[in-house]
Every structure is written in structure tokens, then in C-alpha cells.
């Protein structure tokens, strides 16, 4: 049972399967090996049986092919641990499906989750970048993120500060919503992610000047008040970004003096894997 420092693992990885990434899974493995990673987790955007949110994920019929290719890479690589995962947008109507179909029946190694869309009546099925810049959307995002954290399905939750894409200012509402997310993550001991992909996106204009969309510096500075677990990930959509964007996220954490979690992978006698963040 090996403990892997965050610089040795990346669990947020996409490819051509998601429809807005490029590269074969094997190309990501090659880059991870050359970059010195000991664990690489693939986490394509999870397709839904209803084909909801089709513009940002593979068709449901491709899921079996994706899982099979991940497992073939697991079997053929002894120098690096390959994990099979999915990044979900949590829809509570499908709670049992995530558990029974993905985790129990198909034995997916892990699920992670973020909020890219809302399932409530505030902003239905519109991508987060196009949410209105208002407090109603901000609180709806927060409610959805807390519901996701509280589901008990996910190994960690990604880019909690993604609301920075649509909500421009760091004001009392942004602080209140950030505190609600941080308090929930702390109470449930579920790690939150610093996202390397966001560090390479264009800045946006606010009343206080230009800032990153995410990671949101003010959110992560506030996180220092809470006992939370933090994971840095690349969120790679190109093979070349697997290690470089992970390093960007690690540097961001170092800049803010944030302590990062280590990863332990437990494998049971029947081959099931569970992830433990310490």
C-alpha cells in the first residue's frame, strides 16, 4: 500500500472521448510516464442514459468502449497505475444509477464531480459560463455543489470555485457561498480540487480589475480557515497538459501555502479499488 504525493498522481484527465479533448488514452499514459507520475486516472465526462448534456460528453453507447480501453491500459502497464474513472454532473434522479450501474456493476475505480450545469429551475441545462451574473444563479450553483458533495458518491469534487466563470465579483454573497461549500467539504472530509486547466484560461474583467476565471484566488485564500483536504489536478484535455497543468496547480497551491493531500490506493482481494486521501 503506497502513499503517493500529489506531484505523483493526476486523477482528472480527458481525451478525445469527451468531444472537446484530443489525443488517445495511450498518449496520455506516455506523457505521464515521461513526467514521472506513478498514478494516472482517466475521468471522462460521464454520459447519461438519458443523453442529457450531449455537447460535453461521449454518447452513452461509447461508455463500454471507454471503460474497456482504460482497463486494457491497466493490464498492459506495470510502470504506472492506471485508474478508470468518470467526471459527473450529479443529477439526484440518477443517484442509484451512479452507485449501482457505475460503481457496483461496472466497477469504475472512482467518480469525481463538479457543477457544469444545473438541474434546478434557475438555469436549466445551460453551460456554466453562460449563467447570468447574479446572486440567484450563484446560490443555485452553491446548492447544487453542496448536494453533490453530500451524495456520498464521489472521491473528490472538482473546481468548486467554477462559479468564478459567471459571477464576477468577490462580494458578501460570493464569500457566503464559498464558506458554505468549504464547510460542507470539511464536515464530510471530501477533498476539493485546485484545477490546472483553469490557470490557462483567459482572464475576465471585474470591478477590481482582471482576474482568473478559476482557480479563484480569494476562494482558496478563504479555504485556509477550514480543515479541508485539497487535491491538485491537471484537468488535461491534451496529452501535453497532463503533467504541465498539474505542475501549474501545484505551483498555485505552493504560492498560497496550501497543504495538499496524498493518495493511497487500496485493492481488495476481488480487485476492487478504493481511493484514500490523507
More confident site: 3 or 120? 3
- CB contact at 8 A, 276 and 230: no
- CB contact at 8 A, 177 and 111: no
pLDDT bin (cut points 50, 70, 90) of residue 1 is low
Q: How do residues 81-128 score in pLDDT, each as one tens digit?
A: 999 999 999 999 999 999 999 999 999 999 999 999 987 766 667 888
- CB contact at 8 A, 83 and 39: yes
What is the rounded CA–CA span in Å between residue 81 and residue 112?
Answer: 18
Answer yes or no: is pLDDT of 51 > 90: no
Is the domain 3-277 a CATH 3.20.20.140 member?
yes
Sign of CA dihedral 139, 144, 146, 147: positive
Spatial CB neighbours of 146, under 8 Å, sequence gap ≥ 6: 180, 181, 184
What is the rounded CA–CA span in Å between residue 227 and residue 215?
Answer: 19
pLDDT at 2: 83
Question: Per-domain residue ranges for the chain?
Answer: 3-277
- CB contact at 8 A, 181 and 146: yes
pLDDT at 219: 99
> Mean pLDDT score of the chain, rounded to an integer?
94
When pLDDT is averaged across residues 35-52 and rounded to a whole number, the result is 93
pLDDT at 118: 86
When pLDDT is averaged across residues 234-249 and rounded to a whole number, the result is 98
Residue 32's CB is within 10 A of a number of other CB atoms, namely 27
Amino acid at each position: 500500500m503506497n502513499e503517493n504525493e500529489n506531484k505523483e498522481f493526476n486523477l482528472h484527465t480527458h481525451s478525445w472521448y469527451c468531444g472537446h479533448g484530443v489525443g488517445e488514452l495511450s498518449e496520455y499514459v506516455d506523457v505521464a510516464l515521461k513526467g514521472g507520475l506513478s498514478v494516472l486516472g482517466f475521468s471522462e465526462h460521464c454520459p447519461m442514459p438519458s443523453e442529457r448534456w450531449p455537447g460535453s460528453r461521449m454518447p452513452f453507447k461509447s461508455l463500454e468502449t471507454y471503460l474497456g480501453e482504460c482497463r486494457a491500459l491497466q493490464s498492459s502497464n506495470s510502470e504506472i497505475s492506471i485508474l478508470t474513472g468518470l467526471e459527473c454532473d450529479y443529477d439526484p434522479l440518477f443517484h442509484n444509477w451512479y452507485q449501482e450501474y457505475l460503481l457496483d456493476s461496472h466497477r469504475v475505480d472512482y467518480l469525481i464531480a463538479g457543477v457544469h450545469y444545473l438541474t434546478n429551475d434557475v438555469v436549466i441545462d445551460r453551460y456554466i459560463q453562460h449563467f447570468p451574473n447574479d446572486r440567484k444563479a450563484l446560490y443555485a450553483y452553491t446548492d447544487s455543489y453542496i448536494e453533490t458533495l453530500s451524495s456520498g458518491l464521489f472521491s473528490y469534487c472538482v473546481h468548486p470555485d467554477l462559479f468564478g466563470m459567471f459571477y464576477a465579483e468577490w462580494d458578501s454573497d460570493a464569500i457566503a457561498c464559498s464558506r458554505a461549500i468549504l464547510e460542507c467539504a470539511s464536515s464530510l472530509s471530501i477533498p476539493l480540487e485546485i484545477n490546472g486547466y483553469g490557470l490557462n484560461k483567459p482572464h475576465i474583467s471585474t470591478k477590481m480589475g482582471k482576474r482568473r476565471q478559476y482557480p479563484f484566488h480569494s476562494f482558496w485564500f478563504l479555504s485556509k480557515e477550514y480543515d479541508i483536504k485539497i487535491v491538485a489536478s491537471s484537468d488535461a484535455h491534451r496529452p501535453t497538459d497532463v503533467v504541465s497543468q498539474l505542475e501549474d496547480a501545484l505551483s498555485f497551491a505552493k504560492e498560497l501555502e496550501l497543504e495538499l493531500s496524498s493518495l493511497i490506493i487500496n485493492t481488495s482481494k476481488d480487485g476492487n479499488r478504493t481511493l484514500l486521501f490523507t
